[in-house]
């Protein structure tokens, strides 16, 4: 049994249990909390969809379920979209800006990234890898 735990592959797997367990636990808690925050009628609709009983879903429960799904998609798209605000307070994409301003925005963003300090993750990786 001692040689089993001395194996490099087993040691690697045992170290990864904590990483994967944390991610899996966090995801499961997110799903459970989101489900518990839904109204009872919408919870019943979600259970019906997960069980594969599509023919039992009523239109009254399908509309809020569709709205919930659409709101999550819209929230994700708004999160990953570049946030650029012009001088007059209007939100714009990089393609909408004139070429000179688009270049200025890109240079400003690059400068901000270059001048920022090290993140905690970068510092920890340097310590772990022995780089100073």
pLDDT digits (tens, 9 = 90+) for 5-50: 667 777 777 777 777 887 888 889 998 998 899 889 888 888 888 8
Which pLDDT does position 36 carry in this prediction? 92
User: Does position 91 have pLDDT exceeding 80, yes or no?
Assistant: no
Task: State which H helix or E strand residue 37 sits in.
Answer: helix 8-37
Nearest to 65 by CA among 41, 36, 31, 32: 41
pLDDT band at residue 101 using 50, 70 and 90 as cut-offs: low
φ, ψ (nearest 5 deg) of residue 97: -75, 150
Per the CB < 8 A criterion, the answer to whether 65 and 45 are in contact is yes
* 3-state DSSP percent of the chain in helix, strand and coil, to 5: 75, 5, 20
Taking only the tens place, the pLDDT of each residue in 64-90 is 888 888 888 888 888 777 666 666 666
Which pLDDT does position 87 carry in this prediction? 65
Which pLDDT does position 96 carry in this prediction? 62
Which pLDDT does position 97 carry in this prediction? 64
What residue ranges do the domains of the chain occupy? 1-37, 39-81, 83-132
- Please give the structure tokens belonging to residue 31: 């799903």
Question: Tokens 């919408």 appear where?
Answer: 42
């Amino acid at each position: 049994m001692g040689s089993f735990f001395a194996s490099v592959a087993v040691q690697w797997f045992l170290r990864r249990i904590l990483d994967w367990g944390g991610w899996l636990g966090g995801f499961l808690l997110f799903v459970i909390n989101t489900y518990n925050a839904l109204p009872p009628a919408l919870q019943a609709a979600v259970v019906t969809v997960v069980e594969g009983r599509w023919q039992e879903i009523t239109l009254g429960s399908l509309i809020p379920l569709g709205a919930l799904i659409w709101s999550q998609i819209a929230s994700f798209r708004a999160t990953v979209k570049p946030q650029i605000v012009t001088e007059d307070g209007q939100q714009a994409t990089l393609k909408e800006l004139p070429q000179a301003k688009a270049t200025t925005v890109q240079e400003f963003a690059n400068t901000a990234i270059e001048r920022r300090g090290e993140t905690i993750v970068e510092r920890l990786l340097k310590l772990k890898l022995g780089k100073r």
